[in-house]
Amino acid sequence: MTTTKKTLLIIGSVVGVVVLGFAGFVAMFYFSMVSTVMTKRSPDRQHTAKLTRVQGIDVNFKVTVDGTRVYGSPDFAPVRADFREQLIWDTNSVAVILEVAGRRIFGYHVAEKRSLTDSELHQIHLTRFEELRFEGTLPKDVVTK
């Protein structure tokens, strides 16, 4: 092997190591910003919804149903607060809803594989607390609706 080929081999190896190291750093940084908030099965156990939070310059939420991404939220400000993000299945296992801070911001009809309209989103029946037959004692100042 000539000196030129050896030099090119060494330079290529060094550049390759640097590029791979940088790619690893970028991947590590990206995945440290993404966290699974919850994975939730439908009441009939036929479907699975997953809520992911992406914390970067802004906060975004992603919803996947049965492995398919169905929603990516607009930006939320990266405030130091509990967003109280959660997925909620309707009583018939037909729709899953994303709530953030008590507000329904997205719904997905599983059987029809489509987003819910605004009016559908607000008409979805969720299980009422009383239907869960809680056997404990609630604090006396809790107001039931």
- Give tens-digit pLDDT for 125-142: 888 889 889 999 989 876
Residue 25 lies in a domain: no
Identify the band that residue 31 occupies on the pLDDT scale cut at 50, 70 and 90: very low
Residue 57 lies in a domain: yes
In this prediction, what percent of the chain has a pLDDT beyond 70? 84
Cβ(61)–Cβ(52) under 8 Å? yes
Residue 115 lies in a domain: yes
Copy the structure tokens of residue 40: 């939730």
What DSSP designation does 132 have?
A: G
Residue 14 lies in a domain: no
What value does the mean pLDDT take over residues 56-77? 96
- Give tens-digit pLDDT for 99-128: 999 999 999 999 999 999 999 999 998 888
Residue 13 lies in a domain: no
Residue 54 lies in a domain: yes
Which domain range does residue 112 map to? 34-132
* Lateral strand order in the sheet of 59-65: 34-41, 48-55, 59-65, 68-72
What value does the mean pLDDT take over residues 56-60? 92
Cβ(115)–Cβ(71) under 8 Å? yes
Residue 8 lies in a domain: no
